Amino acid sequence: MRLILIAALIAALSGCALLRPKTEGTPADVAQSAAWQQRIALLSPIDRFVLQGRVASGALGFKADLRWKQHPAGRFEMRVAGPFGARAAELAGDTQEVRVRTGDDATTVTTDPEAWLEKALGVRLPVSGLRWWALGLPAPESHSDVLIDPASGRALRIVQNGWELDYVEYRVADSLDLPRRIEARNGDTRVLVLADQWSQLPPLMNPAP
């Protein structure tokens, strides 16, 4: 029975590769790493975009529209609003400090917008790395584990900053292959993020050969 379980596990993982920072490996590892590094080189320079989509948590009965506007130099604006504008929250800031507001409430400054949203809306959302995670990349400032598709070099899973994000579906936007459906988990929190529309992306830059 033990041998059967090991064989099943090997078969399940045969189509994927878990990449951690390393400097050597088998030829297959090198090829997969090259495809992944090429994708990083293409997408990392994207420092501005507008993402319009939806977020939902079935366990909490939470559904909302999402608009994320990424500015150069790391600034962002985010709006989350339920049907007819209910449970709306607006955030603006950078990785160091975020100003948040709900409804007519006074503006609050926080360094932990995820905890603030959980308190205000009842659901934790993957804000801490969304500027990168939305592109299908790990945030560069902290450790991550990435599961990639060897054929495409796309991320299938990113584990970082307490979040585990599964990339279920991709779509083409302005000639870029970008995430469409992300299933995110953080402890007991389960959140679905759907990217319906990308806009204001910078011109496509071809990485040097």
- Confidence at residue 22, expressed as pLDDT on a 0 to 100 scale: 38
| pTM of the complete model | 0.80
Burial class (CB in 10 A: 0-12, 13-18, 19+), 205: exposed
> Taking 60 as the threshold, does the pLDDT of residue 119 lie above it?
yes
The secondary element (H helix, E strand) that includes residue 10 is helix 2-13
| Residue 49 pLDDT level (bands cut at 50, 70, 90) | very high
Q: What is the mean pLDDT of residues 125-130?
A: 92
